[in-house]
Structure 1
Amino acid sequence: MSLALRPNQRFQALPRRRFASAWQRLKLGVGLFKLKGEIMRIVIFSVALIVLGGCATNSGIVDLGGGNYVYEKEEFWAYNGNSTKVEILKEAAAFCANQGKQMVVQSSDAKPYTPYSSYAGAEVQFSCR
């Protein structure tokens, strides 16, 4: 490549190097590694949150003795405890129907979702007669 200029030719800068220096490539690689690490940290945190969020508590039907039962359930995705209570009542009715009996509700309670505190849930005490 000739650096001599011809008449009527403007000065052109020397062509840039095609590759960065080793130090610049190293800095770029470390920067990309940090970015990948940050992205992975976010992905892992998000997956953990979803997995743990799906782990709502469910006591199942617990025998209190004398034909009395209690069923408590909390759901991560529910906003209102009443929807959870309806699910519990359906499951309790099916439980009693499997025994050839009818469900009689003794008491029921529903609690709404409280941000940063608790999930929506419900508790039903019933007997099969």
Structure 2
Amino acid sequence: MRKLSVLLLPVLVACTTTTGVVPIGQDTYMVGGSGKSPGGYSGAEVKAAAFREATQFCATQGKKMQVVNTNERDMSFGVNATAEVQFMCLAEGDHELGRPKLQRSADQVIQVVPSAQPPQAARGQSTDTYAELLKLEDLRKRGILNDAEFEAQKKKLLTTN
């Protein structure tokens, strides 16, 4: 039984793997990672491992780590937890070294496309035209306008709009 528990121990221990440090620009790097375990794993745990690796990498160069961007995703059914840290290694007196300027990027981008509808003024005119036609019809029904006068006013209204 003791041998069995020793053999199963590595299977039950959580596992985090990283990409290692990958250069993505001048003095700018990225560390990505994923993690899985039978009990679940959080993206924050993977991100923490990436931060440790990034900090250690910059320290070996005698520099400080400055975060540029981060993202993470927790473990879900069939998908490992993942995280990515983008960072710069900067000298102690560098003006960019300071508080991280993290900005969340959009998950979705919505592009507004101009519609083919007429301008607001033209739409207002068509609504006004309809209202005027209703008024003319009401005047005709009440006997204020006869059929000929109604048709003349209607034609005038429709040709001007």
TM-score, normalised on structure 1? 0.54
Alignment RMSD (CA, Å)? 2.3
Distance 2:15 2:47 in 1: 18
Matched, 1:124 2:100: no
Residue 44 (structure 1) aligns with: none
Residue 75 (structure 2) aligns with: 113
Q: Which has the higher contact order (CA 8 A, sep 6+)?
A: 1
TM-score, normalised on structure 2? 0.44
1:57-76 correspondence runs (5 A) = 57-76=17-36
Distance 1:106 1:121 in 2: 18
Residue 61 (structure 2) aligns with: 99
SS of residue in 1 equivalent to 2:76? coil
Check whether the contact 2:19–2:33 (CA below 8 A) recurs between aligned residues: yes
Amino acid at match of 2:85: V
Deviations 1:69-93 (A, max 9, x none): 0110001125211011111111110
Distance 2:28 2:70 in 1: 13
Structure label with greater radius of gyration: 2
1:13-92 correspondence runs (5 A) = 57-77=17-37, 79-92=41-54
Which 5+ residue runs of structure 1 have no aligned equivalent?
A: 1-46
The percent of aligned pairs where both chains have the same amino acid is: 35
Q: How many residues align?
A: 79
Taking structure 1 as reference, are residues 72 and 56 closer, same or farther at Cα in structure 2, changes over 3 Å only? Answer: same
> Which runs of 4 or more aligned residues in structure 1 lie more than 3 Å from their structure 2 counterparts after TM superposition?
54-57
SS of residue in 1 equivalent to 2:66? strand
Deviations 1:44-100 (A, max 9, x none): xxx9xx87xx88652111011201101100011252110111111111101101100
Which 5+ residue runs of structure 2 have no aligned equivalent?
A: 1-6, 91-161
